[in-house]
Structure 1
C-alpha cells in the first residue's frame, strides 16, 4: 500500500499513534489519582471510614450504568458485525451462556474485570470501523472476514486473542485518522 510508511516492517504512523495513546492514558490516570487523593483529603472522606456518602452512592450508580451501557453496546456491535454467540464469547473470553444472558440483560460486564476491558476494545474497534465504512454493516462484515495484508491475518481471527484485538483496534483507529 502506498499510503503506509514502513520502516523495517513497522507502520510508523501506527507506532506513533500507539505511543501517543499510551502516554495520554498515563497522564489521564495520573490526573484521576491526583483528583481522587486531593478530593479525599480536602473533604475528609477516606475509604476506611466505612460510611456510604452520597458521592459513593452516585459513583456506584454510575458504575452500574457504565456496566449496563457497555454490555448493550457490545451486543449491538456484535449484531452489526454479524457475530455468533460463539465468536463473541471467544473474543471476550466468556462462555456462550453468559453471552446469551448478556443479550437478555441478565448478565452485565463488571468493571475491573478482563472481559470489561476486552469489550471496551471490541466496541472501540466497532466504532472506528463503523466510521470508516459509513455505517455499512455488509462492508464491515466483509472486512472482518477478508484476509488483511497489513495485519497479516483475517481481523476476525486476530480479535480472538488480546494481542490481536489490540492490533486490530489500533489498525482501524490509524486508518480512521489518516491525514
Structure 2
C-alpha cells in the first residue's frame, strides 16, 4: 500500500467512525502533524509507528463494520459502555489500554461470536446490546 493510499484510508476510516476529533490522540501525533496529513501536505511514513497505528485504525473500522453491519452501528458500539471491556471502547482507545479493544475484537472475530451491538438491517439500537 502506498503512503498516500494509507493516509487517505486512515482519514476516511476516522471520518466514518466519527473519530476525526480524536485522531491525533489515537495516532499519538501532534495536532499540527495531523493537519499536514489532512491537507495532503504529507503522508504517513511506512517506517514510522504512525503507519502501524493507521493500519490498526483501518482494521478497527473494517472489523467493526463486518461485526456490527454498518459504520453507523460501529460508531454506536464505540461510544456505548461494553460489559466485557468494563468501559466504553472509545475511552479505552484514547488511553494506554487501547490494546484491550483490539484483543477483544480479535477474539470475537476469531470465535465467530455475536458482537454486542449487532443489528439487523432496519432495527433500532438496543441499549442492552453493550
TM-score by length of 1: 0.57
Separation (CA, whole Å) in 2 of partners of 1:162 and 1:124:
18
Which structure has the highest helix share of the two? 1
TM-score by length of 2: 0.76
SS at match of 1:147: coil
SS at match of 1:148: coil
Measured against aligned partners, the alpha-carbon deviations of 1:5-63 in whole angstroms (never above 9, x if no partner) come to xxxxxxxxxxxxxxxxxxxxxxxxxxxxxxxxxxxxxxxxxxxxxxxxxxxxxxxxxxx
In structure 2, stretches of 5+ residues that fail to align are: 113-130
Cα drift, residue 162 of structure 1:
4.9
Quick one: higher RCO (CA 8 Å, sep 6+), 1 or 2? 2
> Which stretches of structure 1, 4 residues or longer, exceed 6 Å deviation after superposition?
none
Separation (CA, whole Å) in 2 of partners of 1:120 and 1:102:
15
Q: Are 1:145 and 2:79 an aligned pair?
A: yes
Structure 2 equivalent of residue 107 of structure 1: 42
Aligned-residue RMSD, C-alpha: 1.7
Separation (CA, whole Å) in 2 of partners of 1:82 and 1:131:
17
Q: Are 1:83 and 2:16 an aligned pair?
A: no
